[in-house]
């Protein structure tokens, strides 16, 4: 309750409500938190695979330079050095951006009281790996909000000094610097400040850029562009900032997963930029000016039993001389039979995480075959799904309970419910428990692009009656005190609503009322929410006397209950 004097009974009820809310949170959140840990691990594994692709492109550039120098090809060596310098600059600005993300992760981990040395590790290749399972307070969302949004917690306009806004501004600067570096060479230039952000593109925006680079630059720019202001909860919350949408009430493990996802976006942009630069430098031993052995699939992460397609190909090819593609299986080299347009197509079923390896042989000008090693690391995991309630940790009878689902390994999902009904409403679902039930279960099913589906889990929730709202006389409610002028002004309009401690968004209607004043013989009664008929009775109440307002309140379900509010006259 806000302000005023509370009776011991009211204090006890308030304390019990807080304890109950905490217990409900503990009962439900564990599976959700573990799902975020698993999701973060998968994202980090995918990011390392993406980094490897960029590192290979950079290493190839170094090999081209070394090869040209060894053969005395000065012009080719100088060209390779120029592109190496550009690639090094891209790696440098990317490393700076990743350092900021890691610094924010470290701050979040330390501020929730976890030992950073147990969470922040290194793999065999020296890559930084975060083990979120080692975080103690996985469900802490106060620290992420304070660090990322600011002390005010304004999700529409986060604090300019908060880490979230620092990240937002640095991400835009990184995007602009990356595309500018990629586009600027010889007579080609780019003023990234004139690009549209999240707005509409026009045909002349990249007119100063080499035509061969325009598609890549636009794709990288769009990938790194986030929508600044957007609506949430089906349009209920308007103009929420990206920082607010990303980190509002996010448990620390969810905040870390969001940062890992952003890191993957940045590494993907870097890898695509380096791979594009690699195509600028050719070799003199081939009948085309660019050659590279690549293994590609739309994703590096699969569910057990998924169908996997990998394309192994050259960046450029000779239509009269198709490459020879082999892969290793059970210690032996096997040839890929499906080879066309410079690509070898290899198909298999995903069983366990592995790295597929092989050789691509390209015919050189002298007729000899040049073997080029290729590899394709991929991750196989189990699909998972979680169900959460964004408003509270329990379901309420007679209320449209908002429900959110999340899945990994599938592109969409659907929910079903026992002990009530559930239906989709925009990006959310609305659950309505049945009368008399005390437990309800919500099941989540993953849906694949081809329409196939699989059950991913069932989540049990307690069901309770909706909490009783408070009766307000103007700005005053039960247990508070007010002057006669405040009461006479407020009595003309009675309200029934929740205070700030209950986040449910429910509308209540007062159908009739009864006002009693200490010392008066009879109460004054009326219908609706306007109790101005009782103004004279309120005026007669002495200082220190009590004005008792009894109101009959209609709940969203149609149920009508009488509620009482007593206010002391100052």
Counted residue by residue, the chain has a size of 570
Task: Report the pLDDT averaged over residues 145-154.
Answer: 94
Tokens in use for 410? Answer: 């599938």
Residues near 422 by Cβ (< 8 Å), separated by ≥ 6? Answer: 403, 415, 416, 429, 430, 431, 432, 442
Contacts 24+ apart (CB under 8 A), 246-250: 246/148, 246/164, 247/144, 247/145, 247/148, 247/149, 247/164, 248/145, 248/149, 248/155, 249/141, 249/145, 249/390, 250/141, 250/144, 250/145
Q: Which residues pair with 340 in a beta bridge?
A: 343
In the predicted structure, residue 14 carries a pLDDT above the cut 60: no
Tokens in use for 465? Answer: 């009656």
User: Where do the DSSP E strands lie in 30-156?
Assistant: 120-122, 128-130
Q: What is the mean pLDDT of the chain?
A: 87
363: helix, strand or coil: strand
Count CB neighbours of 156 within 10 A: 12
Residue 396 sits in a domain whose CATH number is 2.60.40.1080
- Tokens 């309120």 belong to residue: 538
Task: Report the pLDDT averaged over residues 151-156.
Answer: 92
Tokens in use for 497? Answer: 């609503």
- Rg (Cα) of the chain, in Å, rounded? 32
- Tokens 């147990």 belong to residue: 118
CB 162 within 8 A of CB 143: no
Residue 342 sits in a domain whose CATH number is 2.60.40.10
Residues near 267 by Cβ (< 8 Å), separated by ≥ 6? Answer: 47, 50, 51, 54, 94, 98
Tokens in use for 208? Answer: 């100063």
* 24 confidence band (pLDDT: 50, 70, 90): very low
In a domain, 4, yes or no: no
Q: Which residues pair with 482 in a beta bridge?
A: 569
pLDDT at residue 368, as a whole number: 67
Q: Which domain holds residue 337?
A: 285-382
In a domain, 399, yes or no: yes
Angstrom CA distances, 214 to 184, 221, 554, stand at: 12, 11, 61
* 19 confidence band (pLDDT: 50, 70, 90): very low
* 317 confidence band (pLDDT: 50, 70, 90): low
476 and 552 belong to one structural domain: yes
In a domain, 148, yes or no: no
pLDDT at residue 239, as a whole number: 93
Domain count, the chain: 3
452 and 522 belong to one structural domain: no
Task: Report the pLDDT averaged over residues 255-283.
Answer: 90
398 and 483 belong to one structural domain: no
The dihedral built from the CA positions of residue 157, 160, 161 and 166, taken in this order, carries a sign that is: positive
Tokens in use for 131? Answer: 């083990």
Across 190-204, 374-388, 391-405, 454-468, least confident range = 374-388
486 and 545 belong to one structural domain: yes
pLDDT at residue 367, as a whole number: 59
pLDDT at residue 508, as a whole number: 95
Task: Report the pLDDT averaged over residues 208-227.
Answer: 94
User: 110-122 pLDDT, tens per residue?
Assistant: 999 999 999 999 9
Tokens in use for 367? Answer: 């007729």
300: helix, strand or coil: coil
346 and 388 belong to one structural domain: no
Where is pLDDT greater, at 32 or 567? 567
Q: Which residues of 253-281 are buried (b: 16+ CB within 10 A; e: fewer)?
A: bbbbbbbbbbbbbbbbbbbbbbbbbbbbb
543 and 478 belong to one structural domain: yes
365 and 309 belong to one structural domain: yes
In a domain, 98, yes or no: no
Task: Report the pLDDT averaged over residues 429-441.
Answer: 94
Rounded CA-CA distance 215/75 in Å is 28
User: 527-546 pLDDT, tens per residue?
Assistant: 999 999 999 999 989 999 99
User: 45-88 pLDDT, tens per residue?
Assistant: 999 999 999 999 999 999 989 988 998 888 888 989 999 999 99
402 and 449 belong to one structural domain: yes
User: 278-312 pLDDT, tens per residue?
Assistant: 888 764 455 454 455 767 665 555 555 667 777 77
* 507 confidence band (pLDDT: 50, 70, 90): very high
In a domain, 519, yes or no: yes
Angstrom CA distances, 346 to 105, 308, 351, 358, 542, stand at: 39, 9, 15, 11, 90
522 and 532 belong to one structural domain: yes
pLDDT at residue 430, as a whole number: 94
In a domain, 193, yes or no: no
Q: Is residue 365 exposed (0-12), middle (13-18) or buried (19+ Cβ within 10 Å)? A: exposed
Residues near 217 by Cβ (< 8 Å), separated by ≥ 6? Answer: 179, 182, 183, 190, 206, 209
* 319 confidence band (pLDDT: 50, 70, 90): low
At CA 484, angle to CA 478 and CA 490, rounded to 5?
60
Q: Which residues pair with 465 in a beta bridge?
A: 397
Count CB neighbours of 442 within 10 A: 25
Going by DSSP bridges, is the β-strand pair 509-517/546-554 parallel, antiparallel, or unpaired? antiparallel
* 396 confidence band (pLDDT: 50, 70, 90): very high
480 and 524 belong to one structural domain: yes
Angstrom CA distances, 457 to 406, 415, 437, stand at: 11, 10, 21
Task: Report the pLDDT averaged over residues 506-510.
Answer: 94
Rounded CA-CA distance 116/134 in Å is 9
In the predicted structure, residue 225 carries a pLDDT above the cut 70: yes
Rounded CA-CA distance 301/266 in Å is 18
26: helix, strand or coil: helix
Last residue of a domain, one of 465, 484, 502: 465
Find how far residue 545's CA is from the centre of its chain.
54
446: helix, strand or coil: strand
In a domain, 159, yes or no: no
376 and 452 belong to one structural domain: no
Task: Report the pLDDT averaged over residues 391-413.
Answer: 88
450 and 423 belong to one structural domain: yes
In the predicted structure, residue 320 carries a pLDDT above the cut 70: no
Task: Report the pLDDT averaged over residues 347-361.
Answer: 82
Last residue of a domain, one of 382, 416, 433: 382
* 432 confidence band (pLDDT: 50, 70, 90): very high
- Tokens 């920082």 belong to residue: 243
In a domain, 446, yes or no: yes
Last residue of a domain, one of 448, 465, 482: 465
pLDDT at residue 29, as a whole number: 60
């Amino acid at each position: 309750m806000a302000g005023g004097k509370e009776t011991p009974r009211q204090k006890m009820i308030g304390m019990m409500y807080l304890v109950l809310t905490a217990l409900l949170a503990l009962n439900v959140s564990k599976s959700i938190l573990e799902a975020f840990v698993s999701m973060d691990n998968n994202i980090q594994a995918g990011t390392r695979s993406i980094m490897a692709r960029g590192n290979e492109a950079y290493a190839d550039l170094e090999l081209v330079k070394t090869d040209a120098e060894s053969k005395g090809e000065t012009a080719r060596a100088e060209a390779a050095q120029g592109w190496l310098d550009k690639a090094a600059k891209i790696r440098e600005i990317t490393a700076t951006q990743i350092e900021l993300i890691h610094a924010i992760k470290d701050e979040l981990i330390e501020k929730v009281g976890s030992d950073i040395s147990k969470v922040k590790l290194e793999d065999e290749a020296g890559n930084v790996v975060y083990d979120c399972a080692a975080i103690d307070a996985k469900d802490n969302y106060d620290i992420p909000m304070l660090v990322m949004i600011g002390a005010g917690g304004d999700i529409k306009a986060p604090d300019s000094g908060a880490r979230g806004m620092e990240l937002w501004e640095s991400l835009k600067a990184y995007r602009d610097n990356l595309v500018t570096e990629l586009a600027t060479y010889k007579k080609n230039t780019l003023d990234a400040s004139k690009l549209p952000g999240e707005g509409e593109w026009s045909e002349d925006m990249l007119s100063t850029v080499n035509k061969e680079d325009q598609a890549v630059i636009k794709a990288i720019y769009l990938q790194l562009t986030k929508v600044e202001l957007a609506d949430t909860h089906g349009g209920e919350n308007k103009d929420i900032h990206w920082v607010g949408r990303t980190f509002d009430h996010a448990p620390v493990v969810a905040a870390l997963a969001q940062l890992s996802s952003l890191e993957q976006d940045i590494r993907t942009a870097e890898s695509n930029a380096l791979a594009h630069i690699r195509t600028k430098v050719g070799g003199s031993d081939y009948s085309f000016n660019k050659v590279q052995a690549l293994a590609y699939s739309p994703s590096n992460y699969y569910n057990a039993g998924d169908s996997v397609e990998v394309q192994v190909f050259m960046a450029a090819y000779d239509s009269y001389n198709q490459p020879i593609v082999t892969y290793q299986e059970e210690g032996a080299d096997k040839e890929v039979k499906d080879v066309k347009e410079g690509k070898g197509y290899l198909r298999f079923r995903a069983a366990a995480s592995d790295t597929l390896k092989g050789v691509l042989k390209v015919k050189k000008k002298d007729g000899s075959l040049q073997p080029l090693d290729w590899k394709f690391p991929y991750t196989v995991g189990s699909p998972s799904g979680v169900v959460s309630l964004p408003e509270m940790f329990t379901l309420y009878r007679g209320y449209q309970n908002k429900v959110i689902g999340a899945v990994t390994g599938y592109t969409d999902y659907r929910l079903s419910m026992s002990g009530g009904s559930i239906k989709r409403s925009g990006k959310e679902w609305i659950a309505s428990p049945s009368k008399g039930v005390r437990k309800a279960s919500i099941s989540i099913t993953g849906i694949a692009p081809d329409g196939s589906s699989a059950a991913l889990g069932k989540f049990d929730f307690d069901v309770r009656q909706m909490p009783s709202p408070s009766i307000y006389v103007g700005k005053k409610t039960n247990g508070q005190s007010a002057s006669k002028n405040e009461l006479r002004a407020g009595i003309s309009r009675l309200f029934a609503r929740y205070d700030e401690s209950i986040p449910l968004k429910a509308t209540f209607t007062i159908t009739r009322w009864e006002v009693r004043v200490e010392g008066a013989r009879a109460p004054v009664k009326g219908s609706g929410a306007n109790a101005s008929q009782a103004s004279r009775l309120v005026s007669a109440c002495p200082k220190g006397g009590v004005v008792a307002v009894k109101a009959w309140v209609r709940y969203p379900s149609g149920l009508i209950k009488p509620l009482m509010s007593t206010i002391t006259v100052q």
